[in-house]
Structure 1
Amino acid sequence: MDYLADHTTTTARDRLAGAEVALLPTGATEQHGPALPLSTDFRAAETVAGRIDRDDTVRLPTIPVGVSDHHRQFHGTLSVTPETFEDYVGETVASLADHGVRKVVLVNGHGGNSDALRRAARRLRRQEVAFAVPWNWWANLDDLTRELFGEDGIGHADATETSMVYAVAEDLVREDALAAAEAGAADSWGKSVHGGEVGFDTADFSDSGAVGHPTEASREAGERLLASATDDLDALLDWLADQPFADLLPQDHR
């Protein structure tokens, strides 16, 4: 699929004229324990988006820094406020809409971005600027992660994420550190006392920064995760490309 940033302004004019949908990968630059790179989240989103090959879809440059304040105690983590991230994503999509592409999938690789992405999407729709769909690459993979690892969903630097990094950037997995990552990992996300949430930062409940069991990861599992995520995104694009923009606007604005 065409990467918009590789076009010239002349060729971009024609490419955007033929596009129904754009993909905007978003992620984070943040700690993923001692075995995975800081780029884990944005590389996963970027790779899934980059595997899409459709004439009606164009890929935008990746936004590599997201809402990661809860990882701030771990070296290398970069973060912006939710408000800054929401505005940046929203204004990026709005600038694309000026060129006529008003349907976008926000291909996200970091759970901490989710609330801000939803707010940006709601605002764009309410203002009738664009229709943006927040989409996490792992959103529809519970059956597969249950088959592969015996658990639903995704932790942090766990078997699912580690397998995904094997698939998208194998040389960046520090295999000799996987055991240490797991030894200092939490079994689940967060910390509570009598039903009250008291673990606000990852450092409150994970010594290594990981949550889950990264030693259970494999290259084969990563390839299956990547393939399934790509299929899900392609199916979403089928649906979105077929929707008239006017039908996606709020009911009271029609």
Structure 2
Amino acid sequence: MTLLAEQTTTVAADALEAAEVAVLPTGSTEQHGPALPLGMDHMAAQAFARTAADREDAVVLPTVPVGVSVHHRQFDGTLYVTEETFERYVRETLSSVTEHGVRKAVVVNGHGGNSAALNRVARTLRDEETAFAPPWNWWDGVGDLADDLFDENGGHADAMESSVLWHVREDLIQPDRLEEAESGASEGWGEAVHGANVGFDTIDFSETGAVGKPTQADPEKGERLFEAASDELHALIDWLAERSLEDCWPADHV
């Protein structure tokens, strides 16, 4: 298994020479209501990323466990860094991998709050022609399946997230508290007044920190979501592995 952190430097040399794509899991350590652990986001990202560990053309990097989560700060246990800190950390981590010859990457992201920073990282690295590293949110490719499985708008610690974690880390979910989570949850993310967003922090619109209908969570549905999203991830890695670096860089002026 090519989990970079578990290899010696001599073994890593061979793995990096063979690799076309680095896989970097990122997430958060933040509240996910009374039924899910604080590490939900980075644990999910890590689980998806590690499905690539048996590929000879990929190397899986250590997980970044703390992200941009200031909007959850009123709930106990939440850790967070600024967007600038997170952006710089991820960018420099990916830049360091290029020194070992791997210049294409997928950032497997488990936390929506990281998205803006990760998009800037991807653009900066591409503009510099340092690396091509598109971010990949595991939920983006399974929206239709989630709609078929659940009756919710969702957004955080919902049925979809709860189901996925129930599948990958059954030991950490508390099913008997899903009803409690839903009792104080909001139906959707945020709060709007006359077209303006006034839900700056999660506590502004959710008493328990959950959003959606977590009581609909089911581990078998989580397995279906995990497998479907993993297929999407591997298809992306295939695409990147086959793509030349020249085709990754910004186009010249017409």
Pick the TM interval, shorter chain.
Answer: over 0.9
1:22-46 CA-partner distances (Å, limit 9, x unpaired): 1000000000000000010000010
Residue 139 (1) aligns with residue 150 (2) = no
Q: For 2:247 and 2:17, locate their aligned partners in 1 and report how far apart those are by CA, in whole Å.
A: 20
Contact 2:22 2:105 in 1 (8 A): yes
Question: In structure 2, the residue corresponding to 1:107 is in which secondary structure?
Answer: strand
Question: In structure 2, the residue corresponding to 1:94 is in which secondary structure?
Answer: helix
Corresponding residue number in structure 2 for 1:87:
88
CA RMSD between the two structures: 1.3
Q: 1:155, CA displacement in angstroms?
A: 1.2
Q: For 2:175 and 2:195, locate their aligned partners in 1 and report how far apart those are by CA, in whole Å.
A: 36
Q: 1:7, CA displacement in angstroms?
A: 0.8
Residue 98 (1) aligns with residue 113 (2) = no
Q: 1:13, CA displacement in angstroms?
A: 0.8
Corresponding residue number in structure 2 for 1:9:
9
Q: TM-score, normalised by structure 2?
A: 0.97
Question: In structure 1, the residue corresponding to 2:141 is in which secondary structure?
Answer: coil
Contact 1:27 1:65 in 2 (8 A): yes
Contact 2:152 2:213 in 1 (8 A): no
Unaligned runs of 5+ in 1: none
Q: TM-score, normalised by structure 1?
A: 0.97
Q: For 1:3 and 1:82, locate their aligned partners in 2 and report how far apart those are by CA, in whole Å.
A: 27
Unaligned runs of 5+ in 2: none
Question: What letter is aligned with 2:35?
Answer: A
Corresponding residue number in structure 2 for 1:119:
120
Q: For 1:219 and 1:243, locate their aligned partners in 2 and report how far apart those are by CA, in whole Å.
A: 36
Q: For 1:247 and 1:165, locate their aligned partners in 2 and report how far apart those are by CA, in whole Å.
A: 36
Q: For 1:119 and 1:12, locate their aligned partners in 2 and report how far apart those are by CA, in whole Å.
A: 29
Contact 1:25 1:61 in 2 (8 A): yes
Q: For 1:177 and 1:9, locate their aligned partners in 2 and report how far apart those are by CA, in whole Å.
A: 45
Q: For 2:200 and 2:143, locate their aligned partners in 1 and report how far apart those are by CA, in whole Å.
A: 25
Q: For 1:49 and 1:40, locate their aligned partners in 2 and report how far apart those are by CA, in whole Å.
A: 14
Residue 241 (1) aligns with residue 241 (2) = yes
Question: In structure 2, the residue corresponding to 1:251 is in which secondary structure?
Answer: coil
Q: For 2:48 and 2:92, locate their aligned partners in 1 and report how far apart those are by CA, in whole Å.
A: 23
**After the TM superposition, which residues 53-92 of structure 1 pair with which residues of structure 2 at under 5 Å, given as runs?**
53-92=54-93
Q: For 2:152 and 2:240, locate their aligned partners in 1 and report how far apart those are by CA, in whole Å.
A: 30
Question: In structure 2, the residue corresponding to 1:121 is in which secondary structure?
Answer: helix
Corresponding residue number in structure 1 for 2:40:
40
Contact 2:152 2:212 in 1 (8 A): no
1:87-141 CA-partner distances (Å, limit 9, x unpaired): 0000000000010000000000000000000001100011111000100011111
Q: For 1:117 and 1:161, locate their aligned partners in 2 and report how far apart those are by CA, in whole Å.
A: 21
Contact 1:145 1:151 in 2 (8 A): no
Q: For 1:10 and 1:69, locate their aligned partners in 2 and report how far apart those are by CA, in whole Å.
A: 40
Q: 1:151, CA displacement in angstroms?
A: 4.7
Q: 1:246, CA displacement in angstroms?
A: 1.4
Q: For 1:96 and 1:140, locate their aligned partners in 2 and report how far apart those are by CA, in whole Å.
A: 27
Q: 1:150, CA displacement in angstroms?
A: 3.3
Residue 225 (1) aligns with residue 225 (2) = yes
Q: What is the number of residues matched between the two proteins?
A: 253
Q: 1:252, CA displacement in angstroms?
A: 2.7
Question: In structure 2, the residue corresponding to 1:22 is in which secondary structure?
Answer: strand
Question: In structure 2, the residue corresponding to 1:245 is in which secondary structure?
Answer: coil
Corresponding residue number in structure 2 for 1:187:
187
Q: For 1:34 and 1:150, locate their aligned partners in 2 and report how far apart those are by CA, in whole Å.
A: 21
Question: What letter is aligned with 1:206?
Answer: S
Q: For 2:8 and 2:108, locate their aligned partners in 1 and report how far apart those are by CA, in whole Å.
A: 24
Question: What letter is aligned with 2:55?
Answer: R
Corresponding residue number in structure 2 for 1:157:
157
Deviates more, 1:214-223 or 1:49-58: 49-58
